[in-house]
Amino acid sequence: MSLNKNTVKHFIKGDLIAFDQIYYTYSKKIYHIGLGLLKDPDKANEMVQDVFVTLWEKRGKINPDLNFENYLLTMAYNSIRKFLRNKKIEQKVKNEILKNTPIELSNTENSVIYNDLLRLAQNSIEKMPLKRKMVYKLNRQQGMSIKEISEKIGISKRTVEGHLTKALGYLKEEMAKYSLFSLLFLTCFFRG
């Protein structure tokens, strides 16, 4: 089932009823695509939310004359790729920590350490000033370049670099307060 172009045009203008119609028309299809590729209902639901939040944010850039369903499905596949990339990075970090953990720790203890360090890093990121946090997340979690971030949020490349340098410095200070594990985690966490 596809939408008529008037619904898309209303949505582009910010009409919430049109947005709801788009959501109810496509959310299940996108969920099933995500579930098939991510193999995790929670991640598939998260991905659906990510797609529709991004769709709302980018509504002004949509060309109503192009195939809307193709546009939306492309967004879904890009979101799935982002989730898979983040999962791969997360597994790489976990493997590094587990590989470098003393043998006497059990797998349960390893998982607790990893999850605690991940929570610590995420809490530290959330405490950053808004723009710095945005720059960090766009670069490190979404893989955007300095130039892309500069264009997206309308600040100079030098300012983006400054925010990123300060963000990394802050996180190193925060993580260094804890243990050798946190320093190991930091090394893995910031690897490209």
4-17: pLDDT as tens digits: 788 889 989 988 89
Q: Does 110 lie in the same domain as 38?
A: no
Q: Which structural domain range is residue 29 located in?
A: 5-83
Q: Does some domain include residue 149?
A: yes
Tell whether the model's pLDDT for residue 54 goes beyond 70: yes
Q: What value does the mean pLDDT take over residues 179-187?
A: 49
Q: What is the pLDDT of residue 109?
A: 45
Q: What is the pLDDT of residue 72?
A: 87
For the chain, give the mean pLDDT.
76
The DSSP code for 138 is I
Tell whether the model's pLDDT for residue 148 goes beyond 60: yes
What's the pLDDT tens digit per position in 93-139?
A: 555 555 554 444 444 444 555 566 667 777 888 888 888 888 888 88
What's the pLDDT tens digit per position in 73-97?
A: 888 888 877 777 776 656 665 555 5
Counting the structural domains of the chain, the total is: 2
Round to whole Å and give the CA distance between 123 and 175: 11
**Helices 68-99 and 180-189 sit at what angle, rounded to 10 degrees?**
150
Q: Does 67 lie in the same domain as 115?
A: no
Round to whole Å and give the CA distance between 133 and 4: 39
63 three-state secondary structure:
coil
Rounded to the nearest 10°, the torsion over CA 109, 110, 111, 114 is 120
Residue 51: CA atoms inside 13 Å, Cβ hemisphere, count?
Answer: 29
**Domain edge (last residue) among 22, 51, 83:** 83
Q: What is the pLDDT of residue 114?
A: 56
Q: Does 125 lie in the same domain as 52?
A: no
Comparison of pLDDT for 27 and 92, the residue scoring more: 27
Q: Does some domain include residue 88?
A: no
Round to whole Å and give the CA distance between 179 and 185: 10
Q: Does some domain include residue 91?
A: no
Comparison of pLDDT for 48 and 3, the residue scoring more: 48
Q: Does 178 lie in the same domain as 107?
A: yes
Is-contact 97 175, C-beta < 8 A?
Answer: no
